[in-house]
Every structure is written in structure tokens, then in C-alpha cells.
Amino acid sequence: MPNFTASLLSSGERIVIERRQHWIVLLDHAKVAILGLVVALLILVFRGNLGNDGFGGTINSLLGWVVLALVVFAVVVFVYQYLRWLNQGFIVTNRRVIQIGGILNKKALDSSLEKINDAVLSESLFGRAFGFGDLEILTASETGIERMHMLVDAAGFKRAMSDAKHELELEVSSGRIPSPPLRAAPGANADSSASQASPAAPVDAPTRAAASVPAAPSSVDVANAIDQLKKLLDSGALTQAEFDAKKAELLARL
């Protein structure tokens, strides 16, 4: 799974946290295999009361084959469910949340951090005792990750997702990541049509080079970004060293 996960990451994207479902989910999916082993054990106990001669010997031999078949079936089912559980994971990067599944045929489902509106955490008494919970993701999109069932350290996963979303918003506001383009005004179509009809004026190379350079963030943007970092520092989401590094990086852009 690490190689498949690495192949999904785009340029500049890094993993913040990675979790999988609790091992109780494995036991639940492999309950048929566990039941098969229990039945095989009971048959072995029953075989001990049968003789090895005559009709009892025949029944004993048949039950031996039944026990062997149950054990093989249980092992195959358990190994399959274990590989299925092992290859399913939930990942938070600095840009999105990814769900990975599949043993041979891999499948990845993701939701952008920008589209995540909220995350609802549900932890039962049993879940708090064993360290898992359910996390429901509310997004502005019709498709994407909706629910993470019995996720290990669901509270920590939710906290890391919120921190990554806030950090992404700070990067966009400071100009390190360009924000999405604004929707055109109602009269923009006529203007664009007129501009396409008339020949474009020649643009010299210095003008093109100046247009390709992104504008530096203003002092107000940097001050707002530093203020947001200070709030994260006060809440404990950032260490003092991380705060100083981010602050120096923002000030260097002025």
C-alpha cells in the first residue's frame, strides 16, 4: 500500500496522518471463519467419543474430513479478510482526504480539503475504551468520502484534518497557493466576444514576463496570516518552533 499511496500524491503534496479501521472490524468480517473453527473444534471433541471400528469408525473418518474442510475454509476466509483490512486506509494530506482499498484491484476515493465543510465525530462508550470512532465527512460535493467506520484514533484524525484545512487556507490567503478564479460578470461575455473579434495588440517580452510573476502578498495579508498562526500557537496546534518558522517565511515574502 505505501507504493500505491505514493503514486497518488501530486507535486508538493505530503501525507499528514494515516489511519486504518480498528482490528475489531477484522474480527467482524472474519466471523464466518471464526465460526468454522469453533465448529471444527466441537467436531473434534465429539470424535473422541466414537470408536475406530465398524460404523463408529466410518463416522469418525467422515468427521475427520469435515474438520479438515472447515479448517481450510476458515484459514482462506481469514487470510482474505486480513488482506482486505490491511490494504484499506484513510489518509490526510496537505490538500485532501484519501480513502484507499482493494487487495489486487486498488481503488482510491478522495475529497478536497477546500470542499470539506465539517466532520461529525461519533464515539460510543465501547469505542472510547478501545480507541476508535465513526467520522462523517460533510462536503460541498455530491461525491467523495462520506463516512469512516470504526476508525482508529478518529479524534486525532479529525484534528489533523482540521489543522491541514486551516493551513491550506492560510497558504491561499498569503498568496503561496493561488486561489480559484472568480466567476465572470454578466456582461463579461460581450466584452470577451468583442475582444476576440478585434485583433490583439502586440505584447512585448518584458510585459509578458511581468504578467507571469505572481504579485507579492501585501502587508495586511501577511499580518492576517501571522495573526491566524498566533491563534494556532495559543491553542496548542503549533509549537513555538513551527510558529517562528512560519512567521519568518511570511515576513520574507514582503
- Angle at which helix 31-47 crosses helix 54-86, to 10 degrees, equals 160
Q: Which pLDDT value is given to residue 141?
A: 66
Which of 225, 227, 229, 249 minimizes the C-alpha distance to 239?
Answer: 229
CA dist 151 and 131 (Å) reads 8
Q: What is the pTM of this model?
A: 0.63
Distance of CA 199 to the CA centre of its chain: 49
Q: Which pLDDT value is given to residue 51?
A: 63
C-alpha cell at 252: 520574507
Radius of gyration of the chain (CA): 29
Q: Which pLDDT value is given to residue 187?
A: 47
Q: Which pLDDT value is given to residue 180?
A: 46
Q: Which parts of the chain register pLDDT below 70?
A: 1, 50-56, 141-144, 175-218, 220, 253-254
Distance of CA 146 to the CA centre of its chain: 11
Q: Give the C-alpha distances (Å, rounded to integers) separating 64 from 22, 69, 211.
A: 35, 9, 81
Q: Which pLDDT value is given to residue 233?
A: 76
